[in-house]
């Protein structure tokens, strides 16, 4: 905050529309149902409001793998239907406990792959 490069908006993340749409990184770590977070990411992607996103999906109590798989498959379908070229990876990081971390890259540069 001290750098002056951060602007804080007190707003509901599910209703917030960025005033400027040339966002490169979207970072989302809201405690919410994973399907709702995924829908928000899909909406931002369809609106073309970011280039790359890192977001967490909080794991449900039961059927964790099944639910996350279903959410990511749905996201895959929706982005594809909207003719969005993308790369997506999902990891259960060492320090993540009850969540997985997703990296979504829209219209990735050709020839660049993940390490
Ligand atoms: C897991 S914490 C995020 C911590 C943050 N990544 C950090 O390192 O400080 C979840 C945060 O999401 C916020 N949050 C939850 N629902 C929200 C919403 N609808 N709009 C905005 N913020 C929300 C909560 O207030 C809380 O601060």
9 in a structural domain = no
12 in a structural domain = no
| Residue with CA nearest ligand 1 atom 13 | 30
Taking 50 as the pLDDT cut, the residues of the chain under it are: none
- Domain housing 56: 25-106
Which pLDDT belongs to residue 111? 62
The whole-model pTM stands at 0.93
Which pLDDT belongs to residue 114? 61
1 in a structural domain = no
115 in a structural domain = no
Which pLDDT belongs to residue 98? 94
Which pLDDT belongs to residue 109? 78
5 in a structural domain = no
Q: How many domains does the chain fold into?
A: 1
95 in a structural domain = yes
Which pLDDT belongs to residue 108? 87
Find out whether 45 and 84 touch, Cβ atoms under 8 Å: yes
CATH of the domain at 97: 3.40.50.150
Question: What pLDDT digit, counting tens, does each position of 11-32 carry?
Answer: 999 999 999 998 999 999 999 9
Q: Which residue out of 16, 31, 40, 44 has the highest number of ligand 1 atoms within 8 Å of its CB and is therefore the one to mutate?
A: 31
Would you list the DSSP string of 67-114? HHHHHHHHHHHHHHHTT--EEEEEE--TT-SSEEEEEEEESPPTT---
């Amino acid at each position: 905050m001290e750098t002056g490069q951060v602007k804080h908006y007190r707003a509901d993340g599910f209703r917030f529309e960025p005033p400027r749409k040339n966002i490169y990184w979207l970072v989302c770590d809201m405690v919410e149902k994973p399907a709702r977070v995924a829908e928000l990411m899909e909406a931002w992607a369809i609106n073309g409001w970011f280039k790359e996103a890192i977001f967490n999906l909080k794991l449900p109590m039961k059927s964790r793998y099944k639910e996350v798989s279903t959410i990511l498959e749905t996201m895959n379908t929706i982005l594809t239907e909207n003719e969005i070229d993308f790369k997506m990876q999902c990891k259960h990081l060492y320090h993540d406990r009850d969540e997985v971390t997703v990296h979504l890259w829209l219209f990735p540069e050709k020839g660049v792959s993940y390490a």
